Amino acid sequence: MTVIRGLFVYPVKSCGAIALDRAQLDTKGLEWDRHWMVIDANGRFVSQREYAAMARIVPAFAQDGVRLTMDGVAGDLLLPFAPRGGEARVQATVWGDSFEALDEGDEAAHWFSQALGVPVRLVRFAHDVTRLASRKWTNDEAVPTQFADGFPILVTSESSLADLNARLAAKGAPAVPMSRFRPNIVVDGGEAFDEDFIDTLSIEGESGAEEVVLRFVKPCARCPITTIDQLSGERDAQWPAEPLDTLQTFRVDARVDGGLTFGQNAMVVAGAGARLAVGAQAQWEYRFE
């Protein structure tokens, strides 16, 4: 039996996670996931790849928005759920995609510039903008997403993490938590890396609601963010390249040009509008080629 063990959203791209017991799903992913993003003067997104301290920016849901705090930064910052209206439109870029986004104003820019120590601005995903995941991986289907690196949902497996941590332990390296991989959905069940061979993941909806079906479309190639402690915003001094060094020994994937993969990017096939819950039962459908 496969069970949903974790649900996570990252309201601001590359900042901290909010762990949820229940999460609303739509075609773009879990509600409020990567709805905001930090950009540089050229409109390009910035992330923990350049500024590891972003991991220390902690979000929490409030009654009327998302509240951000960070040790060492005076005051908190509230990001209202509803746009204020009249926001300036700016060009934002995520990897090879450029599109319009809504600038969140000088207060947010000042707060994030203080937090990171460099001039940056914060943008919100505009409701009237459509950004699509790569059709190369979605079988040419139009799959919307927001500020995620490329796809609406990232699914990881506890069995796969246990396998990786056993390999780390064998070389004397410390275990890594699932937070290093920044998933949206964590599943428990099956063998390690079964997700490599899965076509769809079907999840029971809350209170008998419509079943949610996710299709796995692309293995997730991992980057140096996996080497950053998501609580301290620092890399381990003794093992600065783990878990990537260990993944290099057994997770090189030709499908993503030799990237080191852990987890699967997914699209929503059915159940948009449903609520997912931790503890819900799920079922794999294997891909046969």
Domain ranges of the chain: 2-29+134-286, 34-130
d(CA 220, CA 237): 26
Query: What mean pLDDT do residues 104-129 have?
Result: 97
Binned at pLDDT 50, 70 and 90, residue 163 comes out as very high
Helices (H), the chain: 106-116, 158-170, 244-247
- Mean local confidence (pLDDT), 86-113: 97
C-alpha 240, offset from chain centre: 22
Quick one: which of 193, 192, 215, 212 has its CA closest to 204?
A: 212
pLDDT band (50, 70, 90) for residue 174? very high
Mean predicted lDDT score pLDDT of the chain: 96
* Residue in 69, 64, 11, 8 with CA at minimum distance from that of residue 36: 11
* pLDDT band of 182, cuts 50, 70, 90: very high
pLDDT at position 85: 86
CATH class of the domain defined by 2-29+134-286: mainly beta
Residue-level pLDDT at 226: 98
Please give the structure tokens belonging to residue 23: 């999460």
pLDDT tier for residue 167 given thresholds of 50, 70 and 90: very high
Place 207 in a pLDDT band, splitting at 50, 70 and 90: low
**Structure tokens of 109?**
């820019």
Give dist(CA 243, CA 275) in Å, integer: 33
Tokens of 237: 């001094």
Evaluate if residue 84 carries a pLDDT over 90.
Answer: no
Indicate if the pLDDT at residue 143 is higher than 80. Answer: yes
- Of all residues in the chain, the percent with pLDDT exceeding 90 is 93
Contact 50, 61 (CB under 8 A): no
- Round to whole Å and give the CA distance between 6 and 145: 21
Mean pLDDT score, 53-63: 97
Single pTM value for the model: 0.97
Q: With a cut of 70, say whether residue 208 has pLDDT above it.
A: no
Say if residues 177 and 262 touch (Cβ distance below 8 Å).
Answer: no
In this predicted structure, the answer to whether residue 151 has a pLDDT above a threshold of 80 is yes
Find residue 58's DSSP bridge partners.
69
Stretch 13-40: mean pLDDT, rounded? Answer: 97
Closest to 118 (Cα-Cα) out of 62, 208, 53, 32: 53
Q: Give whole-number Cα distances, 56 to 3, 35, 53, 220, 259, in Å.
A: 29, 18, 5, 23, 27
CB 14 within 8 A of CB 35: no
pLDDT score, position 205:
78
pLDDT value of position 289: 62
The pLDDT value recorded for residue 74 is 87
Please say if the pLDDT value at position 131 is more than 80.
Answer: yes
256 has pLDDT over 70: yes
